Structure 1
C-alpha cells in the first residue's frame, strides 16, 4: 500500500524527494550570508579555499547519513514504518520552526559558527561544516529521507543513486554560494534570504507530512496483513 505521488523506487523520484528537502534544511543561500559575515576581513583566496573544504565535508556528511542512517536505526530494531513516522515528525517539526521563526534559526547558526570567526582553516569541518552547514537537523532529515527506501529489489539502488545525486548537488550549491557569498549578499540581502527561507521551509513541511503518511500506510498494511482472517 503506497499512495506516495513520488515513485521513490526510481532514480528521478528519489531525487525529487531528496533535493527540496535537503535544500530546505541546509538553505545554502541563507547560510552564505552568515558565512560572508564570519569570513569578513579574510582574503578572497581564503574564502574560496574554505568554501571548497566545506563543500567536500558536507558531501561526506550527507552521503553517510543518507546511506547508513536508516540501516543503523534498523540494526537497533526500529522498523521501517516506525522510522518513517518518527523521521517525518522530525522533518515536519523542523520545517515548522523554520517557517514560523526563520530569524531564530539564523541566530542559532550564527552562534554555532562564531568560534570560526578569527580561526584558521582547521575550522572548516568544525564548526563551519558541523554544526553550521550540515548540523543535527540536516542529519535527521537525511536519515528520514533514507527511511523512504524500497524494502528490497533493484529499486533500492536507483533510490540511493537519486538521493546521492541530490546530496552532491546540494554540496555544489554550498560551495558556490559560500565561494561567492559577497555576491549573494549583494543580490538578496537579509530580507530576501528570509523570504526564500520561508518558501523552502514550506516545501520541507510538505515532505515531512508525506513521509509520515507513508509510514502510517506501512503500519496499516502490516495490521491488515496480520489481522483476523
Structure 2
C-alpha cells in the first residue's frame, strides 16, 4: 500500500498548525458549540478530499487541462506551500488580520466558522485539492481510489483529535514546538513536490527521460 498520498496530505493540512486558529475562533464558544465545530470541520475536510478524488479528474477534462500540466502547476503550488512551512508559516494561504476579524464578527452573528475559514482555506485549500487530484489520476483500481478516499477519513480523524485536544497541545508544544513541527513537515512536502513536478515534466517532455 502506498502511503505517500497520506504523508503528503498530512504535511499540507497539518492540523497541528491550525490549533491556534481553532482556539482563536472558538474562545467564546460553549463546550457543546466547540464539539460541534470540531465535528463539522473534520467532516468538511473529509468531504473536500473525497470530492476532489472522485470529481477532480472530470473537472480537468471539462476545462481541457492535461494532467501533466496540472502536475507541474500543482507541484509548483506544493513547493510554494513547502517554502512557507519552512518559514514556520501554515502551508495554505491564510486570511489576513482584517479577514480574521470579519470571520469573528460572522461567528458572533451566528454563522458557522467550522467550514469557512477553518476548513477552507485554513485546513484544505488549493494545494490540498491539487494534490488529491494528482493522486486520484494515478489510482488504477477501485480499491486504490477507495484507499485515497479513506485517507480523507484519516485526515478528518487527525483534525478531530488535534482540535479536541487543542488547548493541551498548544500548552505542551508551545509556539516553538508547533514551528518546529511545521518546518519538518515542510521539508517532507518540498521533496514530494519535486517528485510531482518531475513526473509532470517527464510527461510533457519525454526527451527529458
Q: TM-score, normalised by structure 1?
A: 0.78
Find the counterpart in structure 2 of residue 93 from structure 1: 80
Q: Work out the CA distance in 2 between the residues paired with 1:98 and 1:145.
A: 22
User: Paired residue for 1:188, among 146, 154, 173?
Assistant: 173
Q: Work out the CA distance in 1 between the residues paired with 2:159 and 2:46.
A: 10
Gaps of 5+ in 1: 1-11, 225-229
Find the counterpart in structure 2 of residue 129 from structure 1: 119
Structure 1 pair 96–84 and aligned structure 2 pair: CA distance change class (3 A) = same
1:81, distance to aligned residue in structure 2 (A): 2.1
- Aligned-residue CA RMSD (Å): 2.5
State the structure with more CA Rg.
1
Q: What does 1:1-229 correspond to in 2, within 5 Å?
A: 12-13=1-2, 16-99=3-86, 101-103=87-89, 108=94, 111=97, 112-117=99-104, 119=107, 120=110, 122-147=112-137, 149-150=138-139, 155-221=140-206
1:133, distance to aligned residue in structure 2 (A): 2.1
Deviates more, 1:33-42 or 1:184-193: 33-42
1:109-147: CA deviation from partner (whole Å, max 9, x where unpaired): 574554443523622222222222223332233334334
- Residue 154 of structure 2 aligns to a residue whose secondary structure is helix
Structure 1 pair 212–69 and aligned structure 2 pair: CA distance change class (3 A) = same
Q: Work out the CA distance in 2 between the residues paired with 1:172 and 1:104.
A: 19
1:178, distance to aligned residue in structure 2 (A): 0.9
1:93-112: CA deviation from partner (whole Å, max 9, x where unpaired): 2212221x324769935745
Structure 1 pair 210–176 and aligned structure 2 pair: CA distance change class (3 A) = same
Q: TM-score, normalised by structure 2?
A: 0.85
Q: Work out the CA distance in 2 between the residues paired with 1:80 and 1:103.
A: 29
Deviates more, 1:32-41 or 1:18-27: 32-41
